[in-house]
Amino acid sequence: MDFADVWDRVIGIQSDPPRWLVLGSAALALLAILPHPVWRLSRNVVTIAHEGGHGLVALMTGRRLSSIRLHSDTSGLTVSSGKPTGLGMILTAAAGYTAPSLLGLGGAALLAAEHITALLWISIALLAGLLIMVRNAFGLLSVVLTGAAFFLISWYGGSELQAAFAYLGVWFLLLAGVRPVVELQGKRRRGGARDSDADQLARLTGIGALLWVTLFLVVALSCLLVGGSWLLTA
């Protein structure tokens, strides 16, 4: 298979999957989010998206990205340098909790346009970019394993397996984008997470942290509503 064949395969249009596959992938995504023991594992995928969002927006706003760390307790840390205040810093801080949902919304748009393979390869490209900046062993392992799963499915999987994997991933991001925001406010209500993204944004803007949490939740729920409708009507 030459480059032209690969390119045609990536940008080509795939037929819509059967209804049962779309609904089944949504159910599996919920099973990966609701039970706490499973969530402790699957939340690592959300952390990848969260920290990747910080890193991508930092670069887009002209900040210098220094490192990204992903930890086994599902926490993470993205370090960038530049002006400590201003719009670039605000957007970078706001990108983490909104990234999973916005990525899910983008994925839903691709699936609605029948670009299943393109979605898988765009995901691989984003993970490869993230891998360059990861600076700890667990983070490297997490990103490599996630990227390997996308590559193997996209290269060797049949059309139905690719569709199932793509729809599962997008449903997961749309649904899982809500839970970390709820968990964040729960920690804040108990007196924890005083250096959370919302609290950092409150210090940067003078707008209360609760309002930032509310904004995160509105974004997550809006993406779920819109993206979910696209998936169900594709």
For the chain, the domains span: 17-233
SS3 of the chain: CCHHHHHHHHHCCCCCCCHHHHHHHHHHHHHCCCCHHHHHHHHHHHHHHHHHHHHHHHHHCCCEEEEEEECCCCCEEEEEECCCCCHHHHHHHHHHHHHHHHHHHHHHHHHHCCCHHHHHHHHHHHHHHHHHHECCHHHHHHHHHHHHHHHHHHHHCCHHHHHHHHHHHHHHHHHHCCHHHHHHHHHHHCCCCCCCHHHHHHHHHCCCHHHHHHHHHHHHHHHHHHHHHHHHHC
pLDDT tens per residue, range 117-155: 999 999 999 999 999 999 999 999 999 999 999 999 999
Q: How many other CB atoms are there within 10 angstroms of residue 224's CB atom?
A: 21
Q: What average pLDDT values come out for the chain (234 residues) when binned by 10 residues?
A: 62 82 97 95 97 97 96 95 94 97 98 94 96 97 97 92 97 98 93 89 96 98 98 87
Query: What phi, psi does 203 have (nearest 5°)?
Result: -70, -35
Q: How many other CB atoms are there within 10 angstroms of residue 144's CB atom?
A: 14
Residue length of the chain = 234
Of 123, 124, 102, 108, the C-alpha closest to 54 is: 102
Amino acid at 153: I
Residues 100/104/106/109 CA torsion (nearest 10 deg): -170
pLDDT computed for residue 13 by the predictor: 78
Cα dist from 13 to 8, 10, 101, 226, whole Å: 9, 8, 24, 22
pLDDT computed for residue 14 by the predictor: 77
pLDDT computed for residue 15 by the predictor: 78
Annotate 148-164 with b (16+ C-beta within 10 A) or e (fewer).
ebbbebbeebeeeebbb
pLDDT computed for residue 131 by the predictor: 96
